[in-house]
């Protein structure tokens, strides 16, 4: 891939030279270079592709070098080329990428960012990058590990809201706490809500690790269109939040739902069943990692869960399920013809000396009996074969490239 980028760079320089000496050939010159979709997700590096970091750096180097070359060759009339890219930035690469975006403003190589992912980037740097991006190109903003809090979100969100074609807003680990009792905290939350109401094309929202207890109705009611992907992992949701979501216009449009890290074992279980029923016709991807679902809760939701007839992916890792519970799920899910992947936990039967109920941290860190688990895996595999579902993957691998991106659903 690096060679491809270098080759394209050389070709762009050649086209520039041709444009300066042969103006009649401009109609044959390259106008758009689409480099989107070439990036891996950084979890499992595909040796045939560049990492997101490498691709971002290569694009930035190309733009800066091209601008320097243009300054040295004034007098030529270059052919403008729109370079469509996905960009990923952190503290180390921020200055480099900012220079590339600035160079692009007056360069024949015009960077058009489709997806921006910023990790661990200070608030002022995030704002500076957003101000340099073309408002007509961006479809996704993904901010993670930024620890912005509500105050930081209230500063950044108006700069994001100017992207009227934005379809996906992902705010992972920004640690917004809507429960803050202070006047400033409430003002920041209300301002954030007002800005969220400006989006007209938003279809995916991720608020992972933002504490939204009892405030989900206020957040979702501000949106102009129903969401198709909603990620609320570790948001400390309460029954009222799930009840609102089940009754809202969003439920009937959801293709992807992530409720990981929310306790669904107690009073949340019944409203969660109502939500499954409301979303059952459209739901393709359901993530329930670490939701404290034991066998009793799983058996209670199975009739509703198996009516999600289009479901392709089910994530249950980190829940205290037994071998018997997993077998029941495997048998009942035979009616879900579209199901392709189930990420399940290590059965509680395969641990030794496990406290009950086991905290999620224990399930994630405690040692298992490898021999016993190997027998369980073999038995599950045989059950899949016997039911004609050898194509369905049952796995404990939560780090593989299994979770579908919203835009690929």
For CA atoms 128, 132, 133, 136, the dihedral sign is positive
pLDDT at 22 over 80: no
Provide the 10 A C-beta neighbour count for residue 99: 14
Mean of the per-residue pLDDT values for the chain?
Answer: 86
Distance CA 49, CA 358 (A): 41
Sheet of strand 313-315, all strands in order from the earlier edge strand to the far edge: 32-34, 81-89, 109-119, 140-144, 168-172, 204-206, 229-231, 256-258, 285-287, 313-315, 341-343, 393-395
Task: Please report the pLDDT score of residue 402 as a whole number.
Answer: 55
Beta strand 204-206 with 256-258: parallel, antiparallel or unpaired? unpaired
Q: What are phi and psi of 172, to 5 degrees?
A: -95, 130
**CA distances from residue 335 to 215, 265, 285, 393 in whole angstroms, order as listed:** 36, 25, 16, 16
pLDDT in tens, 128-187: 999 999 999 999 999 998 888 888 999 999 999 999 999 999 998 877 777 766 767 889
Contact between 83 and 58 under an 8 Å Cβ cutoff? The reply is no
As a whole number of angstroms, the distance between CA 380 and CA 385 comes to 9
Maximum separation of any 2 CA atoms in the chain, in Å: 80
CA distances from residue 252 to 18, 228, 257, 283, 335 in whole angstroms, order as listed: 54, 9, 12, 9, 21
The per-residue pLDDT for 11 is: 47
Q: What pLDDT does 1 receive?
A: 43
pLDDT at site 107: 80
Closest Cα to residue 278, out of 311, 314, 254?
A: 254
> What are 3-20's pLDDT values in tens digits?
444 445 544 444 444 444
How confident is the model over 366-395, as a mean pLDDT?
96
The pair of three-digit structure tokens given for residue 149, joined into one six-digit string: 């809090």
**pLDDT 10s digits, 170-229:** 998 877 777 766 767 889 999 999 999 999 999 999 999 898 999 999 999 999 999 999
Number of helices and strands (H, E) in the chain? 13, 12
Q: In DSSP terms, which residues pair with 4 in a beta bridge?
A: none
Q: What is the CA radius of gyration of the chain?
A: 24
Residue 53 banded pLDDT, cuts 50, 70, 90: low
Residue 45 has pLDDT above 50, yes or no: no
DSSP 8-class letter at 214: T
Query: Could you report the per-residue pLDDT of 66-80, keeping only the tens digit for each?
Result: 655 655 555 566 778
């Amino acid at each position: 891939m690096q060679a491809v980028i270098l080759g394209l760079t050389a070709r762009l320089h050649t086209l520039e030279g041709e444009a300066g000496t042969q103006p009649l050939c401009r109609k044959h010159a390259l106008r758009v270079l689409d480099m989107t979709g070439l990036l891996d997700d950084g979890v499992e590096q595909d040796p045939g592709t560049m990492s997101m970091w490498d691709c971002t750096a290569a694009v930035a180097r190309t733009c800066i070098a091209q601008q320097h070359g243009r300054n040295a060759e004034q007098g030529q009339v270059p052919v403008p080329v729109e370079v469509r890219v996905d960009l990923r930035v952190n503290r180390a690469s921020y200055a480099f990428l900012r220079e590339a975006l600035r160079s692009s403003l007056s360069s024949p190589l015009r960077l058009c960012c489709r997806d921006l992912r910023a990790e661990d980037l200070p608030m002022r740097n995030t704002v500076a990058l957003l101000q340099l991006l073309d408002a007509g190109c961006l479809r996704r903003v993904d901010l993670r590990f930024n620890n912005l809090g509500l105050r930081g979100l209230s500063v950044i969100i108006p700069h994001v809201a100017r992207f009227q074609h934005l379809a996906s807003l992902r705010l992972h680990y920004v640690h917004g706490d809507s429960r803050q009792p202070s006047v400033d905290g409430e003002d920041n939350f209300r301002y954030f809500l007002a800005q969220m109401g400006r989006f007209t094309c938003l279809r995916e929202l991720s608020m992972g690790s933002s504490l939204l207890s009892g405030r989900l109705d206020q957040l979702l009611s501000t949106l102009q269109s129903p969401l198709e992907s909603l990620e609320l992992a570790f948001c400390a949701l309460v029954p009222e939040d799930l009840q609102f979501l089940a009754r809202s216009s969003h439920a009937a449009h959801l293709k992807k739902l992530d409720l990981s890290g929310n306790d669904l074992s107690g009073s949340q279980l019944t409203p969660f069943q109502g939500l499954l029923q409301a979303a059952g016709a459209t739901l393709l991807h359901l993530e329930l990692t670490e939701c404290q679902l034991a066998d009793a809760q799983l058996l209670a939701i199975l009739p509703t869960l198996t009516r999600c007839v289009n479901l392709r992916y089910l994530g249950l890792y980190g829940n205290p399920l037994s071998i018997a519970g997993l077998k029941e799920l495997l048998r009942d899910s035979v009616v879900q013809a579209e199901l392709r992947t189930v990420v399940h936990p290590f059965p509680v039967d395969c641990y030794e000396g496990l406290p009950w109920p086991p905290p999620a941290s224990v399930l994630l860190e405690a040692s298992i009996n490898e021999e016993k688990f190997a027998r369980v895996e073999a038995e599950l595999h045989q059950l899949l074969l016997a039911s004609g579902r050898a194509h369905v993957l049952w796995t404990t691998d939560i780090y593989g490239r299994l979770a579908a991106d919203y835009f690929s659903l």
